[in-house]
Structure 1
Amino acid sequence: MSQQNVLEKVQYLIAEALDLKPAEIHAEQSFRGDLRADSLDSVEIIMSIEEAFGVEFDEDSAAKVETVGDVVAYIERALAQKHAVSA
């Protein structure tokens, strides 16, 4: 899955959780500051991302995610590791 595809899917999932349009969500935006996501929103977003991409965030990783771009980078790393293990 390309970085653009991951970003688009993440934008859609975040938009759905926060009642926004996907086009309003950009990689450099922070969840709390720019998107005004509270902790419950953040948990919901992480859970929907885990389900959609088949990846898991441990507590430390989830706590370090501050921007949309951080989520995309994490997903890409997790998918790459998953692919390397299954190859």
Structure 2
Amino acid sequence: MPFPHPSALDIDEWMSRKIPSHAGPAAAACLAIIVDVLGLPLSELEPSSRFTEDLRADELEPVEIIMAIEDELGLKISDQGASQLGSVADLIAHLAQRIQ
């Protein structure tokens, strides 16, 4: 059974407890995409969660996450840059830096 999509309020609450405030709306979009692609509840995510090791993503799911983020935010993440984004925190920090 798939998990319900987190509400904006759920995502805001998670972000206020887990990541720096400067991450902004890109982080919220990122979290929504991660839970959607991986089919996980938001409560299973931690900033330190690694996609394959902790969140049990197969080898294509991180690529799906990157592609969905690129579409949602209208930016391009290079293959080299994407290969260095192994955790939720890595991805959020990268997006926060790119969008500032």
TM-score, normalised with respect to structure 2 = 0.71
Q: Which residue of 2 aligns with 1:75?
A: 95
Per the TM alignment, residue 44 of structure 1 is displaced from its structure 2 partner at its CA by 0.5
Percent same amino acid at aligned positions? 29
Aligned residue pairs, count: 80
Alignment partners' CA distance in 2, 1:79 and 1:40? 25
| Structure 2, unaligned runs of 5 or more | 1-20
TM-score, normalised with respect to structure 1 = 0.80
Structure 1 stretches of at least 4 aligned residues deviating more than 4 Å after TM superposition: none
Residue 62 (1) aligns with residue 85 (2)? no
Higher helix share: 1
Q: Which residue of 2 aligns with 1:49?
A: 69
Residue 39 (1) aligns with residue 39 (2)? no
What SS is found at the alignment partner of 1:32?
Answer: coil
| Structure 1, unaligned runs of 5 or more | 81-87
Alignment partners' CA distance in 1, 2:68 and 2:90? 16
Of 34, 41, 44 in structure 2, the residue corresponding to residue 21 of structure 1 is: 41
